[in-house]
Copies of this chain bind each other. A is one copy, B any other.
Amino acid sequence: MKAAIFKQAGQVICEEVPKPTPSNPDELVMRVVRACVCGSDLWWYRGISPRKSNTSTGHEAIGVVDQVGQSVTSVKPGDFIIVPFAYSCGVCPVCKAGFEATCPRGGFFDSGERGLGAQAEFMRVPKADGTVVVIPGGIERARSFSDDMLADLLTLSDVMATGYHAAATAEVKAGDTVAVVGDGAVGLCGVISAKLRGASRIIALSRHEDRQALAREFGATDIVAERDQAAVDRVKELTDGWGVDAVLECVGSKQSTSTALNIARNGAVIGRVGVPHDEQVDPEAMFYRNLGLRGGPASVRTWDRQILLQAVLDGSINPGRVFTDTYDLDHIAEAYQAMDQRTSVKSLLKVSEV
């Protein structure tokens, strides 16, 4: 089968590799219908984070169940499923509390292990019963889905759920004034999430016109194009000096974290989902402002099943709009380049027909 393979910084290519089979009784193999490239892939693509050569890539996919291991009970061949970016046991106290992406028995699909990569024609899914999200109706219903609906569903494997995790951990509630730091696909999904949770005012910090337009389409009421201290000043100005009720931190850098803390109203919670790189916080300064810091790898399965899958299926949210370019596996290199060069907000991979 075809699969994307990381060679070295700046180089991801499509190679012919063996098709995976369930290597454990609790695994399934999925035929990938749609996959994509994540903003977090750019950390190693750009050589900022280390990654071994010749590793499988990709951690976002939807598709059709092809084979199941003998202990898999909740899903069967022909089911149409979402695979979150992390696998999880589904039954431990961490999973039961709704934090399955940090299940100590689980792991990340982006570990590089062969067969786990989502940018491929087939992928293995460990701990299938505790991991996948089943889209009701199976392959028959899925064949009726438009390309736009498939794109919307694909975001439920990561970015939409990650944006929602930021909003949920920031405790966004009806009537809140919310700021979203970061205008990547996750930040844009954060805007959708803040609106979905009833925020009455959503301030998107975005410096790119195309993303500003998408943010507005998704529900942003204000755009702040300034950066650093000027951005803080502007958000303060927009909130009569008080700061916002909740902050969605969707970048993970030292600068974005600092901005997030500085634009928060005393007592606010920063919900963060940007993979941290050199983040620094001053716990004493946070204490005297009653600021909270929460978040981490997103609870994809929890949020999908609790709210997001239904919201996509009934058309009340359209997160698939974050995909601005479409590629096939043969053009995986271009899909990465477009995101690296910011000509694409997020690159979709059309791997197969339903």
Residues of B within 8 A of A269 (CB): 292, 294
Q: A97-B245, A265-B93 are in contact. Are A288 and B102 (CB under 8 A)?
A: yes
A290 touches B297 (CB 8 A): yes
A276 interface residue per 8 A CB criterion: yes
A98 interface residue per 8 A CB criterion: yes
A210 interface residue per 8 A CB criterion: no
Min CB distance A277 to B, Å, is: 8
A92 touches B283 (CB 8 A): no
B169 touches A266 (CB 8 A): no
Q: A102-B266, A266-B102, A281-B283 are in contact. Are A94 and B293 (CB under 8 A)?
A: no
Query: Among A101, A169, A287, A292, which residue has the most Cβ atoms of chain B within 10 A?
Result: A287
Query: Which chain B residue lies CB-closest to A108?
Result: B288
B280 touches A287 (CB 8 A): no
Kindly supply a per-residue 1/0 record for chain A positions 251-288, scoring 1 wherever the CB is within 8 Å of any chain B CB and 0 otherwise. Answer: 00000010000000111110010011001110110111
A295 interface residue per 8 A CB criterion: yes
Kindly supply a per-residue 1/0 record for chain A positions 74-106, scoring 1 wherever the CB is within 8 Å of any chain B CB and 0 otherwise. Answer: 000000000000000000111001110111100
Query: Which chain B residue lies CB-closest to A284?
Result: B276
A296 interface residue per 8 A CB criterion: yes
Query: Which chain B residue lies CB-closest to A252?
Result: B287
CA distance A288 to B273 in the complex (A): 10
B242 touches A92 (CB 8 A): yes
Query: Which chain B residue lies CB-closest to A104?
Result: B266
Min CB distance A99 to B, Å, is: 3
Residues of B within 8 A of A266 (CB): 94, 99, 102-104
CA distance A281 to B286 in the complex (A): 12
4 residue pairs, one from A and one from B, having the closest CB atoms: A99-B267, A290-B296, A292-B294, A102-B266
Q: List 10 A-B contacts (CB under 8 A).
A: A99-B266, A99-B290, A101-B290, A269-B294, A276-B284, A276-B287, A279-B283, A286-B293, A291-B296, A292-B295
